[in-house]
Amino acid sequence: MEREPSTAPADGNLTLPEGLLGAALSLIKEEMRLDVRVTWSRDAVEIQNATSHVVLVATADLASNPLAPYMELIANGDAGVMLLGPLPQGLRERLPANAVITPVEVVHPDTFYFEVQDTLLRVAQNHRSEQKSLLLSQYRYELSELIAIARAITQERNIDRLLHLILEKSRFITGADAGSIYVVEGHAADVRRRTLHFKLSQNESISFEPKQFTMPVSTRSIAGASVITRSVISIPDVYLIPANAPYGFDRSFDEKFGYRTGSMITMPMVSAADEVIGVIQLINKKKNPHIRLQSKGDFEEQVVPFDQRSEDLLATLASQAGIALENAMLYQEIQTIFEGFVRASVQAIEQRDPTTSGHSLRVSVLSCGLADAVTRTEAGPHAGTRFTARDVKELEYASLLHDFGKIGVREQVLVKAKKLYPHQLDSIRARFDYVQRGTEIDVLKRKIELMREGSDGAALLRLDEEMENRKADLERAWAVIRDSNEPTVLKQGDFTRIADIGGFTYVDSSGLLQPLLTPDEIASLQVTRGSLSSKELDEIRSHVSHTYNFLARIPWGKSYSRIPEIAGSHHEKLNGTGYPNRLNSEEIPAQSKIMSIADIYDALTARDRPYKKALPFDRALDILGFEVRDGHIDGELVRIFIEAQIFKEVERDLSY
């Protein structure tokens, strides 16, 4: 190394003892051999070679703290301490733990050279050890960060959040001030139609609202070139891109926002199928990642090119990010297919029973709204109940599919609006017409006989009166049947009238005696509530078992494994009188209890159906209260449903 002349201060200005001075002078004589530079101060002598320093002080002068100017060098492992005299008590505790300390109790010019050389060597070795330790610590830190980043990005399924996380972590590990992410769209085999979708941008120094856009995949853009070449492109300064480069840099952003893009690195993200599916583009690596670039001086002082270490770290992260992005895209694709399947299933149900159109979706909205309200509640028995986003999604699917089992119920039962099926009512009407015509024919025959016998007109009038009475009886019986066919609550006397009509008989065309009403028709007309007979009610109720059996065949996976159980329990009642399994309160899933309330409310308030009128919401809430009183549904859930006005969720999210 180049050496400057070393000079010693006058003896009157030097407080170091004469032995130290003599040793230093002796060292100067040996300077050519050691290749060192010697610097004098009032309290110390600094000896420096190409890599190390030694600070020479006297133990008698330590009270004046002569080591203070050198503490940073000592702490960094770049300097050692040589003491003339014994090691003072407490000195080692005042110095860094890694400090090199050499006590020299006897100063002899012949040996001093070797002691200085040995100390310089120890300092150099200590420095290398410290650097290795720092480097190892840095590698361990980077490795732990990469592992944490890998764990974070592989667990994220939402594509937008994943891209934000990838870009944020990429900037973090490289010290980049800004960056963007592009996603490749289109099939790899169709090169001409592939596009780069600008999805996300981040900037530590300025605030702006990025707008998404697409552009063709070509070498005219830096990102496109990275996709096509499948390689990293690192540019020290984008303003100095050579004129013969296939790509260029658009300065419009810098000019608009007063920014200065300098260094840039563009890294492709490759999928497990070995296709480039995206690009990470980072801008302006900073010496100090915590400084915001505000002025021209900031850009000039802080922005540096991306080094090899940054490139290696980004490549490692990008390889993980490519797999994670591919998985997220596949997950979204599967989710879309799954959502389509659920919606198609609901449509299939509602096509079989158009009168309940929209019921499944409304029950889903009401159920999820109530689950969210339960999670927010801070008082009552459900204060500690928490439904995660996955739980709510599971409830949503179960609610949408809760009536899918109706596909296993006969369509005529599903859409039965009256107590009698239309063909049954037509058959009864035909019998009444037949009986009426038979009555007319009988009366006419009897009239002819009377006329042949020469009977007077009074006898003929009596026959006419008899026929009118019989026709009136038939009309009254028909009116009873017609009124009883409506799905209303029957009075006790109606049972007798239907039974009496069922006792009427007539002679058919074959001469056989037939009942005016069949036993099945009598049973249907005597239904006390609604339009379904007990057998038909059982068939309708079987839809819950069909729902469970159907949903249980679907491989829902771990996340949604309880969907069959939740959907299959929405008609269970807390007091154990529900169906299909007569579960008690403790056995019914919480989501099913929620769905039961939503199902009842919507069934009561849904638009008019052939067999019932829609009830106003206050009347429906009263009926929910009756259900609570009878031990059918959870009263606390009903309270939350009413106080949170969950019924407005349907008004807000759906249009009728």
Q: Is the pLDDT of residue 185 over 50?
A: yes
The pLDDT tens digits for 530-542 are 888 888 888 889 9
The pLDDT tens digits for 608-636 are 566 567 788 889 999 999 999 999 999 99
Alpha helices in 39-158 (DSSP H): 71-75, 91-94, 109-155
Residue 144: band (very low, low, confident or very high) from pLDDT cuts 50, 70, 90: confident
pLDDT for res 8: 44
Residue with tokens 């060098």: 73
Q: Is the pLDDT of residue 268 over 90?
A: yes
Q: Which phi and psi angles does 376 have, rounded to 5°?
A: -80, -15
Say how far apart CA 21 and CA 15 lie, in whole Å.
9
Helices 635-643 and 359-376, interaxial angle, to 10°?
A: 90
Q: Beta 233-235 vs 276-286: how paired, if at all?
A: unpaired
pLDDT for res 567: 95
pLDDT for res 655: 46
Q: Is the pLDDT of residue 550 over 80?
A: yes
Residue 18: band (very low, low, confident or very high) from pLDDT cuts 50, 70, 90: low
Span 292-313, average pLDDT: 92
Q: Is the pLDDT of residue 582 over 90?
A: yes
Q: Is the pLDDT of residue 28 over 60?
A: no
**Cβ atoms < 10 Å from Cβ of 197:** 16
Residue with tokens 């870009």: 167
For the four alpha carbons of 63, 66, 70 and 72, in that order, the dihedral sign comes to positive
Q: Is the pLDDT of residue 23 over 70?
A: no
Q: Is the pLDDT of residue 14 over 50?
A: no
Span 20-39, average pLDDT: 62
DSSP assignment of 481-504: HHHHTSSSPPPHHHHHHHHHHHT-
Nearest to 353 by CA among 93, 606, 120: 606
Q: Is the pLDDT of residue 361 over 70?
A: yes
pLDDT for res 27: 60
Say how far apart CA 391 and CA 490 lie, in whole Å.
44
pLDDT for res 86: 77
Residue 269: band (very low, low, confident or very high) from pLDDT cuts 50, 70, 90: very high
The pLDDT tens digits for 67-118 are 888 888 888 778 888 887 777 877 778 888 778 888 877 666 667 777 788 8
DSSP assignment of 226-279: HHHHTS-EEES-GGG--TTSS-----HHHHHHT-----EEEEEEE-TTS-EEEE
DSSP assignment of 424-435: HHHHHHHHHHHH
Cβ atoms of residues 150 and 65 within 8 Å = no
Residue 448: band (very low, low, confident or very high) from pLDDT cuts 50, 70, 90: confident
Apex CA 138: angle with CA 156 and CA 96, to 5°? 140
Evaluate if pTM is beyond 0.95.
Answer: no
DSSP assignment of 293-362: --SHHHHHHHEE---HHHHHHHHHHHHHHHHHHHHHHHHHHHHHHHHHHHHHHHHHHHHH-GGGTTHHHH
Residue 551: band (very low, low, confident or very high) from pLDDT cuts 50, 70, 90: very high
Residue 12: band (very low, low, confident or very high) from pLDDT cuts 50, 70, 90: very low
Q: Is the pLDDT of residue 479 over 80?
A: yes
pLDDT for res 656: 41
Span 24-36, average pLDDT: 59
Average pLDDT, the chain: 84
Span 125-146, average pLDDT: 72
pLDDT for res 134: 66
Q: Which of 648 and 574 is assigned the larger pLDDT? A: 574
Q: Which of 305 and 63 is assigned the larger pLDDT? A: 305
Say how far apart CA 260 and CA 486 lie, in whole Å.
80
Cβ atoms of residues 375 and 386 within 8 Å = yes
Span 44-48, average pLDDT: 80
Residue 547: band (very low, low, confident or very high) from pLDDT cuts 50, 70, 90: very high
Report the share of the chain in percent with pLDDT over 90.
39
Q: Is the pLDDT of residue 650 over 70?
A: no
pLDDT for res 251: 93
pLDDT for res 137: 67
pLDDT for res 225: 95
DSSP assignment of 198-224: EEEEEESS-------EEEE-STTSHHH
Residue 371: band (very low, low, confident or very high) from pLDDT cuts 50, 70, 90: very high
SS3 category, 182: strand
pLDDT for res 447: 82
